[in-house]
A = this chain, B = another copy of it.
């Protein structure tokens, strides 16, 4: 069996269905490592993973940092305020610098859509897009699908996944729609009409400007984080009004399949897009997503940074 020949992970469209399946399968093996007493394998010893986060993040940065360290890579974090970005250095010059230091993998979060693609064109390192503006966040989609498969089985054909929130501006939604469609799931998008994308027929998804019909019989309900900075803007109602029409609560969740799982990429705005009882309730798999995140990122780092010919399965 040949391994996926993956040079970067910038967008879900970089992945064939086979590649996606192989990443998910490898992540399964790494998922077990997190539960062991010794959460470490020597797979990427002597590789250099550089986390370049231009936007604040705890969970994603920590998830990649742990993924790298548990693979025995050397991990270096570069943040916003203490870095040369404050001296006005361009993104390209920063990347050329990290390339010259022989980074193996650059993990990039940046506010500008397309930043990761731009970086990838300027380095020999493998680049992982950890969120670029309103564009994509492919490892989030992979960890979401990993989590769905844990609960619903490996075949997503026939599953109905409802994604609700500010679809139009969400990189999480954009990556998920592509990956879910690639793997055969049915996707429904729900949100205020001003925040729904146009021309969704091409994506093969259904859109709803009310939450209730979108939830009917859904197997998976994925709530998006409301970006508080958008509140008050023209496209967006108030936080209270949003919760009233698009917040997931127990009553609304009862419209979905009785075995529906509830997901959220975090951090949660409790009482806005999701109520406390649902976030902490028996249908919630939100913390399982976090756990899956480390495993999926280990798998992606593994495919991008390990030597050709190395063993596919972790020790």
Q: How many angstroms from the CA of A62 to the CA of B97 in the assembled complex? A: 10
Partner of A81, one of B47, B81, B88, B287: B81
- Interface flags, A267-300, vs B, CB<8A=1, else 0: 1111000000000000000011011011000000
Contacts of A70 in B (CB 8 A): 46, 48, 74
Q: Which of A38, A74, A79, A99 has the most CB of B within 10 A?
A: A74
The residue that A270 contacts in the complex, of B46, B83, B90, B267, with Cβ under 8 A, is B90
Segment among A53-61, A158-166, A173-181 that sits at the interface with chain B: A53-61
**Which residues of chain B come closer than 8 Å to A266, judged between CB atoms?**
89, 93, 97
Contact across chains for B94 and A58 when beta carbons are under 8 A apart: yes
A219 at the interface (CB under 8 A from B): no
Chain B residues lying within 8 Å of A270, measured Cβ to Cβ, are 90, 93
Q: Contacts A70-B74, A89-B58 given: A101-B268 contact, CB under 8 Å?
A: no
Bound-complex Cα distance A211 to B261 (A): 64
Interface size on A, residues (CB 8 A): 61
Sampled A-B contacts (6; CB under 8 Å): A34-B101, A37-B307, A40-B45, A62-B76, A81-B82, A101-B293
Using a CB–CB distance below 8 Å, which chain A residues touch chain B?
34-40, 45-48, 50, 53, 56-59, 62-63, 65-66, 69-70, 74, 76, 78-90, 93-94, 96-102, 104, 228, 266-270, 287-288, 290-291, 293-294, 307
In the complex, besides A57-B84, A65-B76, 15 extra interface pairs with C-beta distance below 8 angstroms are A34-B101, A46-B70, A48-B70, A53-B82, A56-B84, A57-B83, A58-B84, A58-B94, A59-B84, A87-B267, A88-B267, A96-B287, A100-B288, A101-B290, A102-B291
